[in-house]
């Protein structure tokens, strides 16, 4: 997502300082020449590209669902409600830190979005020089971090389809279990798994099933088959398909196939192909690492993993594997 394509329509800033008796909320007027405008564009773009973001949707008739409209003029009332709730959490929790929030109404690819980003305060030193040119350091406790998606908690609401993306930050709030306070306390949502979580579960389940159902000397080749299949299918369709993985990896063993299906069902992974982001797609297309038991590491381009004319895996009678690299014209140091 190019940040320059995001149009900022309305913006509010708030101070969420647990040491204050109440939060502060102010609208700011900015244009595309203002540095803050560019920072907000980058935050929105990063949130849209964040593969770790949780997903959810409003319950029809929920009070916040009704407060989120396609009219930028309604952002103020929404911001006031959310600011008050977040401030209560900041004041009553040792984990939800004080910070500054930004509310934004923006247009992305003709879709209106309402967003909130909370940047947590941090202590830092400022270098000062007095009238006598004496240099000193002064501690500032409410400095803002770099405007990075990894330095804040956030949510983005698509006003038209009512879907929500939010950060995966979890904290202990009045209980023994960590919760995503944006989902449970602010938006009243049950956060769904992020794209990264689902992709990781599919990978771990596939490799786990291979290790459980095949002989040790067969594991490496099966893992290579899995990686090649996923990379090829994602490259062609932009989707991860567990059905395709099952067909490519476990077609020769009904028990393995059944175990794989049971594990995925237990871990709530759907069989329907899952569309993935460009970031995840690029990750699948990168070189794959092969690590031997004696510590040798090889980085192999995906397209060569199952190409016996380039990389050949030979097994002896005792199950030892020899990796033969072919058609090499030069070795670069």
| Whether residue 284 has pLDDT greater than 90 | no
The answer on 253 and 215 residing in a single domain is: yes
The answer on 206 and 275 residing in a single domain is: yes
Residue 68 within a domain? yes
pTM of the entire structure?
0.66
Residue 105 within a domain? yes
Q: Please check whether residue 80 is in contact with residue 51, taking contact to mean a CB–CB distance below 8 angstroms.
A: no
Strand partners, 126: 138
Higher pLDDT, 232 or 302: 232
Domain total in the chain: 2
Q: Write out pLDDT tens, residues 44-59.
A: 999 999 988 888 877 6
Question: What whole-number distance in Å separates Cα of residue 210 and Cα of residue 203?
Answer: 11
Question: What whole-number distance in Å separates Cα of residue 67 and Cα of residue 9?
Answer: 17
Can you say whether residue 93 is alpha, beta or left, with left for phi > 0 and alpha for psi between -120 and 50 degrees?
Answer: beta
Q: Which of 67-76, 138-147, 279-288 is predicted with the least confidence, judged by mean pLDDT?
A: 279-288
Q: Residue range 281-290: average pLDDT? A: 73
Residue 52 within a domain? yes
Give residue 268's domain range.
196-325
Q: Residue range 262-267: average pLDDT? A: 92
The answer on 222 and 295 residing in a single domain is: yes
Q: Please check whether residue 312 is in contact with residue 209, taking contact to mean a CB–CB distance below 8 angstroms.
A: no
As a whole number, the mean pLDDT across the chain is 86
The answer on 320 and 211 residing in a single domain is: yes
Residue 304 within a domain? yes
In this prediction, residue 249 has a pLDDT band, given cuts at 50, 70 and 90, of very high
Q: Write out pLDDT tens, residues 158-217.
A: 998 888 999 988 888 877 678 888 888 888 776 678 888 899 999 999 999 999 999 887
The answer on 83 and 231 residing in a single domain is: no
Among candidate residues 192, 211, 226, the one where a domain is terminated: 192
Judged on CB neighbours under 10 Å (0-12, 13-18, 19+), 81 is middle
Q: Write out pLDDT tens, residues 90-138.
A: 988 768 889 999 999 999 999 999 999 999 888 888 898 988 999 999 8
Q: Which of 198-207, 281-290, 317-326 is predicted with the least confidence, judged by mean pLDDT?
A: 281-290
In this prediction, residue 333 has a pLDDT band, given cuts at 50, 70 and 90, of low
| Whether residue 62 has pLDDT greater than 70 | no
Residue 20 within a domain? yes
The answer on 17 and 152 residing in a single domain is: yes
């Amino acid at each position: 997502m190019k940040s320059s394509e995001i149009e900022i329509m309305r913006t509010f800033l708030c101070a969420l300082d647990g040491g204050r008796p109440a939060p502060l909320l102010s609208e700011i007027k900015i244009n595309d020449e203002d540095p803050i405008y560019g920072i907000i564009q980058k935050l929105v773009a990063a949130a849209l590209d964040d593969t770790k973001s949780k997903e959810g949707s409003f319950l029809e008739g929920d009070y916040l669902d009704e407060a989120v409209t396609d009219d930028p003029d309604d952002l103020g009332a929404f911001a006031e409600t959310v600011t008050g709730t977040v401030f209560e959490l900041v004041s009553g929790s040792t984990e939800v830190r004080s910070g500054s929030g930004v509310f934004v109404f923006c247009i992305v690819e003709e879709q209106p979005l309402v967003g909130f980003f909370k940047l947590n305060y941090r202590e830092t030193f400022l270098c000062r020089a007095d009238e006598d040119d004496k240099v000193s350091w002064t501690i500032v406790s409410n400095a803002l971090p770099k405007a990075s998606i990894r330095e804040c908690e956030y949510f983005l609401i698509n006003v038209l389809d009512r879907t929500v993306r939010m950060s995966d930050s979890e904290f202990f709030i009045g209980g023994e279990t960590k919760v995503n306070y944006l989902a449970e306390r602010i938006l009243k949502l049950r956060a769904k798994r992020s794209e990264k979580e689902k992709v990781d579960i599919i990978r771990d389940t596939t490799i786990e099933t291979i290790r459980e159902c095949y002989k040790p000397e067969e594991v490496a080749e099966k893992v290579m088959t899995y990686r090649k299949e996923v990379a090829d299918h994602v490259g062609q369709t932009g989707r991860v398909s567990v059905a395709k993985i099952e067909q490519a990896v476990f077609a020769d063993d009904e028990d393995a196939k059944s175990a794989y299906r049971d594990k995925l069902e237990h871990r709530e992974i759907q069989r329907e192909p899952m569309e993935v982001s460009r970031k995840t797609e690029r990750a699948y297309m990168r070189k794959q690492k092969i690590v031997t038991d004696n510590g040798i590491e090889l980085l192999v381009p995906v397209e060569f993993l199952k190409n016996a004319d380039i990389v050949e895996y030979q097994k002896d009678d005792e199950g030892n594997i020899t990796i033969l690299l072919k058609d090499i014209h030069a070795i670069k140091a």
